[in-house]
Structure 1
């Protein structure tokens, strides 16, 4: 299915869930899961805008905004494994912050506002809470997006034995990091259970993710952004997520309420 623009696609997705959103007695949590570069942020922004056009209050919450602080991840790197300094994998998010935010949104008021966490990827650290957006009434819709939403731990520990890539072979030869990360996924399941409906942006393969992320990095490189990664650094960075990303590609389409299959150019493929 092709759309003239992203806003049209977002409106079509919202139409799919308009009835349950409209009848929900609590903020309806619409999850968006998709690998890096698949367009989660674009869809999330479009859904919030489309909800506002309907007269619905809506907010956007990203798994990326709930990372542990840099100091907390450095402590994990020292105590558990050096690879845990890099944000993104299970175990590097503040699940208590996510849970309290979702809890609070249903009771938000001017007297008890809820702040939505925000992370500064340039600084690799959480923004000051005083700068977080404030919500003063329960929204009808919470758009919650993240690269591994809905993914479960490995069904069999034997899946974790063989390294998935060069990073795991060289820097996690004994499997300690990948076993720890996979084990932490179990703690994410109560967060996933709060999702009322899940939309999956299904990439055609893991290999295309590197191309998508490289396209996103190129404007940063051109303007000399210190946070920009060259291709070698980007390749290493993405290998942190490859194992769980491949599991997402294999398992999430059976769990999602709506699967939007993408081609290599991120166009939606009919039907969905």
Structure 2
């Protein structure tokens, strides 16, 4: 696998963990790719790989509800920048960057919409050589005031008429998330052909989650999914423009999620 081979080569040239950011819309295969890279690396080298997901750092529901009262009602729904525990993520990334052992990584249960209990968290027991962190907005750049002024969908037109929600999200992205992006040594971007595909891909994810979950009450219906993905539209479409420019590896998909184009930067 060319990506894994390049990561092995690059990580061997430095004396600190090699951080890889993976960006892609919902259902684009970020976690699948991360797991595959991990499998290839550990089976073809002596390197230790840690895989993380931004999704595992979502605030608990109670904390998001408090945030919704303080800032904007739309922040009760997980997803956008501002709904993650960035302080916790910063601590974890800092420990991994220092090569510390016994690092604890939380897990989030999307079926219950709450963090997993600590006994289900992951424990990194040795120093990492490569750290893969994936997230739908991981690496996405903040927008300008002009870009924020025009609503992109009915959710923003009807429930964010004064642009308070999207402005708050953008500030969080600029002030809290972007400094962490600077830790990344390498970027992979999984590019969907359009936002229209995101609903179908996310729907497939939810159907799989429903099949695998014993707790059906928090699994979304098809209509819920359509509403849910609208929270992600602005930054997903913005990523279509900003992420290819910074990506060391770009994978472009067809609507059927087959690879239409693959670009690997020469390093």
Tell me, yes or no, whether TM beats 0.5.
yes
Call closer, same or farther: CA 1:82–1:21 in 2, change over 3 Å. same
CA-CA distance at 1:142 after TM superposition: 0.7
Q: Does 1:33 align with 2:23?
A: yes
Distance 1:77 1:138 in 2: 38
> Hey, what does 1:46 align to over in structure 2?
36
Find 1:140's aligned residue among 111, 126, 129: 129
Distance 1:176 1:182 in 2: 10
Find 2:99's aligned residue among 107, 127, 133: 107
> Hey, what does 1:239 align to over in structure 2?
230
Could you tell me whether the CA contact under 8 Å between 1:148 and 1:244 is conserved in 2? yes
Unaligned runs of 5+ in 1: 1-10
> Hey, what does 2:3 align to over in structure 1?
13
Partner deviation per Cα, 1:23-60 (whole Å, 9 max, x = no partner): 22111111111011100010011111112102221111
Does the residue aligned with 2:229 lie in a helix, a strand or coil? Answer: helix
Does the residue aligned with 2:167 lie in a helix, a strand or coil? Answer: helix
Could you tell me whether the CA contact under 8 Å between 1:115 and 1:129 is conserved in 2? no
Distance 1:93 1:217 in 2: 21
Find 1:68's aligned residue among 49, 59, 69: 59
CA-CA distance at 1:189 after TM superposition: 0.8
> Hey, what does 1:182 align to over in structure 2?
170
Distance 2:2 2:192 in 1: 19
Does the residue aligned with 1:17 lie in a helix, a strand or coil? Answer: helix
Call closer, same or farther: CA 1:255–1:138 in 2, change over 3 Å. same
Structure 1 runs of 4+ aligned residues shifted over 6 Å read none
CA-CA distance at 1:135 after TM superposition: 1.2
Does the residue aligned with 1:204 lie in a helix, a strand or coil? Answer: coil
Find 1:128's aligned residue among 99, 117, 120: 117
Q: What is the alpha-carbon root mean square deviation over aligned residues?
A: 1.6
Partner deviation per Cα, 1:183-242 (whole Å, 9 max, x = no partner): 111121111111110000011111111111112222345678333222211111001110
Partner deviation per Cα, 1:44-91 (whole Å, 9 max, x = no partner): 111111121022211111100111222211110111111101111011
Could you tell me whether the CA contact under 8 Å between 1:60 and 1:144 is conserved in 2? yes
Find 2:194's aligned residue among 193, 205, 213: 205
The 10-residue stretch of structure 1 (118-127 or 248-257) with the greater mean CA deviation from structure 2? 118-127
Does the residue aligned with 2:36 lie in a helix, a strand or coil? Answer: helix
The 10-residue stretch of structure 1 (252-261 or 215-224) with the greater mean CA deviation from structure 2? 215-224
Distance 1:57 1:81 in 2: 41
> Hey, what does 2:217 align to over in structure 1?
226
> Hey, what does 1:152 align to over in structure 2?
141
Unaligned runs of 5+ in 2: none
> Hey, what does 1:168 align to over in structure 2?
156
Does the residue aligned with 1:91 lie in a helix, a strand or coil? Answer: coil
CA-CA distance at 1:167 after TM superposition: 0.9
- May I ask how many residue pairs the two structures share in their alignment? 258
TM-score, normalised with respect to structure 2: 0.92
Partner deviation per Cα, 1:73-110 (whole Å, 9 max, x = no partner): 1110111111101111011111111111111123323x
